[in-house]
A and B are shown apart, each in its own frame.
Chain A
Amino acid sequence: MKPINYVDELNSHYGSLGFPPYQWTVNQTAPLVRLDKPLEQCTVSLLTSGGISHCSLPGFDPNARNDHRLDTVKNDADSRDFDINDSYYDHTDAEADLNCVFPIDRLRELVQDGTIGGVAARFWSGFMGRIYNRTKVLEESAPAFIEKLKEDGVDILIAAPA
């Protein structure tokens, strides 16, 4: 099937709920890192924005706006120990198997079979949808997050928005 036109759908849906028009970011260029080591020597971390929280913590606000909460997830966490709170998508499948959206089990298997060097000490969950204050992401939240990735020696970040 043809991809859904999310820009139009989101503008229409959230406009009807009284949200202000979203100023979409349009970039013409992008940065690119060229890693000088093979995957089997790389440390990999994962980031989800799917409202996924460990059961030991309070859940995310499913209707959050401008929520810059960012949770750490231990790299040996059990994938059955999470709650999902996000009105943005249907997480029925992800509740049955977290790996649909946050594949922590699958990534750990790739360490076992030698595809990647290792997983970072921490995985991450945050940056939920409907963040209107983009400048704060670019100037505060994301740089602070990247510092933590560097502390963990992360070479590769896999980011899975929901």
Chain B
Amino acid sequence: MGLVCRVAEEAGIATVCLSTGRDLTAQVRPPRSLFVNYPMGNNFGGPSDLDLQTRILRRALSMIHDADVAGTLVDWEEEWPKTFAYFRGK
């Protein structure tokens, strides 16, 4: 996805990547990333938590104009309520 964002940006489309893998995103370096330290698949939070989903989405959109530096990676401040581990399947 980071690669796709880079290609889009080179073609004039502004992008923001909602990352749940900080190290993965940092090395690919998309133009703008919001790192959300939640489990993969919960980039925008938990089910039916409309308020959190909207706040994350708004924060991502705010980066379109606020990020002055290419490759900006911002950390979403709110913690996931539980610790979680790498997902190895069910």
A interface list, Cβ under 8 A from B: 1, 3-7, 9, 13, 24-33, 35, 38-39, 42, 44, 47, 49-50, 87-91, 93-94, 96-97, 99-101, 103, 106-107, 109-110, 115-116, 127, 134, 137-138, 142-143, 145-146, 149-150, 154-162
From B14, B41, B87, B89, contact of A155 by CB (8 A): B14
Q: How many residues of chain B get a CB closer than 8 Å to chain A's CBs?
A: 65
From A26, A88, A109, A149, contact of B87 by CB (8 A): A88
A24 touches B16 (CB 8 A): no
A156 touches B19 (CB 8 A): no
B interface list, Cβ under 8 A from A: 1-24, 27-32, 35, 37, 39-48, 50, 53-54, 57-58, 60-61, 64-65, 67, 69-71, 79-80, 83-90
A149 touches B8 (CB 8 A): yes
A7 touches B23 (CB 8 A): yes
Q: Which residues of A contact B41 (CB under 8 A)?
A: 50, 89-91, 93-94, 100-101, 162
Q: How many angstroms between the C-alpha atoms of A134 and B1 in the bound complex?
A: 11
